[in-house]
Chain A
Amino acid sequence: MTKTITIDPVTRLEGHGKITIELDARGEVKTAHFHVTQVRGFEKFSEGRPFYEMPALMARICGICPVSHLLASAKACEAIMAVEIPETAAQLRRMLNLAQMVQSHALSFFYLSSPDLLLGMDSDPAARHIFTVAASYPELGRAGVGLRRFGQHIIELLGDKRIHPGWVVPGGVTEPLTVAKRDEILGMLLDARVAVQLALRSYKEITYRFEDEIAHFANFPSMFLGLVNGDESAEFTDGALRLIDANGKIIEDGIRAKRFTEVMGEAVEPYSYTKFVYYKPFGYPEGCFRVGPLARLNIVKTMGTHLADAELRQFKQLENGPVRSSFHYHYARLIEMLHGIEKIEEILNDPLILDKHVRATAGVNRLEGAGQAEAPRGTLMHHYKVDEDGKMTWANLMVATGLNNNAMNQGVLQAARFFVKEGRLSEGILNRMEAVVRTFDPCLSCSTHAWGKMPLLIELKDAEGKQIGEARR
């Protein structure tokens, strides 16, 4: 008799998702799926709106990473305008994106995942949350809160608002940076760097406890995709995409947004509202790949900053070739935070950053445009078509969660096969199923996130769908 185990909702994620695990007659895992159970509709209701309203409109997709949508959208608009933005504007945007990277990674690592890492996968679920972490590890708790504040405050200084700043517009940014704001950000950097270094030390001390998780949390060969600079260093805002295979061989390099729309396809599965993005030349699902911190570190040769490079060298020692275990997303996230803080300092120390020319203007010069950027959780692409008046006629968004969708599903199946044996279930096992997904830090609705408090319901169903048992957290 087949049984289905449902984990609904999956907690400590940004958005609403569900996991189902199907068992065969012997109680062994047959299939497992990660479902995204909501639909948003932004691509549809942007139709008819003037294209230059898109950054502000599309940013509303997400309260965690509005900056990524702002950037990808503004770049798609700039492709329509056929303009190159001033260098200062590009650097200001780069800094904004890095600030967001730091705050979003802090949210993922400290608020959402550190309860599993520090308190243990099997610890009491009622106390497995950030408050217990803060009580048991006050320094780390402070570091997490501080890093999130650091990122948010830079966004607020640059764009006047912590969430949904209106500062990034097609053509650049609306306001140049002032000396006072630059100096304020420079003053915040040291504390932030110390906080990340503390987190890195603590993380390395505890990873030995997670051998099983490292071995079975979406640990499989796959391709990796991410932005990279011409000098092989890490990039989050501009640059071009690189796709490598499981052994590190470059499959395609220098992928600009226009090319991205040509080589990437989207598949639909009946169990999820999120599409599955794949590399067309290899077909679906063989052409699926991973994006996000792990992928970005796998594709670069250097981070481009001193301290992060030292960490990158250690990271590259984890495995021979690209790091395959998705558990190491956590480590990659911390390294990226360190890089972000260093890079912000580098950008601010260049006098060019105070230049007053921060915006290019133009009308509709092309009827189609695409823009790409790295969101904290992976590559993001906006693709627009407009009429001659500049009104949107069509939009397509490929978001990181869609790019990672296949990997998350494979990961859930892999972990289920290892941890769920003969139909045996425990709360800790279920938490591991969720933790697999958490390593990817997916953004499901991009606007809601829940942790700890939501009820977790596991239902055991027979082949006819009749409930034969349940467990509740």
Chain B
Amino acid sequence: MSAATEIKTLIIDGKDVSARPEQTVLEVARENGIEIPTLCHLDGLTDVGACRLCLIEIKGQTKLQPACVTRVEEGMEVQSDSERLRKHRRTIIELLFAERNHICSVCVANGNCELQSLSQELGVTHVRLPYRNPELTVDASHERFTCDHNRCILCTRCVRVCAEIEGAHVWDVMGRGAGCRVITDLAQPWGESSCTRCGKCVQVCPTGALYEKGKVGIERPKHPEFLPYLNLMREAQ
């Protein structure tokens, strides 16, 4: 089989693009300078399609598909931006804000938060849904880090980075629906868990849910961009 046959061609937002068959629509779009908003996706981790922010329209399908887990197909016609998609994306952000207690003004991630930046980019000026204001706990038992469930959006980046990159699989998810929580080990306090203290989960957390103790606001930019390099170096070995 020649290399040429492995190339798929498709159209994203009216632009002709080509891709390798194993690529996702999100990857190809970003390679071609087309920005699709994401929260649970992070380069270097497997995708789970949890946040649904990257939903796209595909010609011939009535269902919207998440770009991060949709493989490219020959002749595919993709729309990554439309009034319908923008409306859905804004609603998703509003649902995230309404679900837990996100108080940007006093949050440690204020100014460095992906949820906050996305809501600004998508023009979420207010939340139309009633806030649930759940009573959630803060796990400050760890020597170096804190987990504040009030700010967790259940993107599971922490779960994936811990299992896939660090190989420790300390983080996991417990419960269903509104009772869903990220947990360490079998829901033990973080400080008493088998955590290796590497801090990768903190670096990939898009909000202020996981953060370094004592670090606040402007002094706390995260650096999730290390992941692809880490993967590359490991593959090279």
Instruction: Determine if A57 is an interface residue (Cβ-Cβ < 8 Å).
Output: yes
Measured CA separation A48–B140 after assembly (Å): 10
Chain A residue contacts of B55, Cβ below 8 A:
none
B2 within 8 A of A: no
In the complex formed, the residue of A with least CB distance to B148 is A50
Name the A residues within 8 Å of B156 (CB-CB).
Answer: none
The answer to whether A171 has its CB under 8 Å from any CB of chain B is yes
- When C-beta atoms are compared, the residue in chain A nearest to B218 turns out to be A166
Cα A285 to Cα B106 with chains together (Å): 37
Q: Output the least CB separation between A42 and chain B (Å).
A: 11
Any B CB within 8 A of the CB of A384: no
| Complexed CA–CA distance, A389 and B140 (Å) | 5
* In the complex, B32 has a CB within 8 A of chain A: no
B105 adjacent to A50 (CB under 8 Å): no
Are the C-beta atoms of B213 and A52 separated by less than 8 Å? Answer: yes
Interface size on A, residues (CB 8 A): 23
Interface string of A129-165 (1 = CB under 8 A from B): 0000000000000000000000000000000100010
User: Given the complex, which residues of A lie within 8 Å of B137, measured CB to CB?
Assistant: 48
Closest to A81 in B: B214
Q: Are B218 and A160 in contact (CB under 8 A)?
A: yes
**Which of B213, B214, B217 is close to A56, meaning CB atoms less than 8 Å apart?**
B217
A167 contact set on B, CB distance < 8 A: 218
- Roughly how many angstroms separate A194 CA and B217 CA in the complex, as a whole number? 37
A338-375: contact bitstring with B at CB < 8 Å (1 yes, 0 no)? 00000000000000000000000101000000000000
Taking CB atoms and an 8 Å cut-off, the chain A residues in 49-65 that contact chain B are 49-50, 52-53, 55-57, 60
State the Cβ distance, A395 to closest chain B Cβ, in Å. Answer: 14
A293 within 8 A of B: no
Instruction: Say which residue of A57, A169, A361, A390 sits within 8 Å of B106 (CB atoms).
Output: A57
A171 CB, min distance to chain B CBs, angstroms: 7
User: Does residue A170 face the partner (Cβ distance < 8 Å to B)?
Assistant: yes
Q: Are B105 and A391 in contact (CB under 8 A)?
A: no
A164 vs B216: C-alpha distance when bound (angstroms): 13
Closest 5 CB pairs of A and B: A166-B217, A389-B140, A174-B219, A57-B106, A52-B214
Q: Write the residues of chain A forming the contact surface with B, with a CB cutoff of 8 angstroms.
A: 48-50, 52-53, 55-57, 60, 160, 164, 166-167, 169-171, 174-175, 361, 363, 389-391
Q: Can you name 20 A-B residue pairings with CB atoms under 8 Å?
A: A48-B137, A48-B138, A49-B138, A50-B148, A50-B213, A52-B213, A56-B216, A160-B218, A166-B216, A166-B217, A166-B218, A169-B216, A170-B214, A171-B214, A174-B219, A363-B213, A363-B214, A389-B191, A390-B140, A390-B213
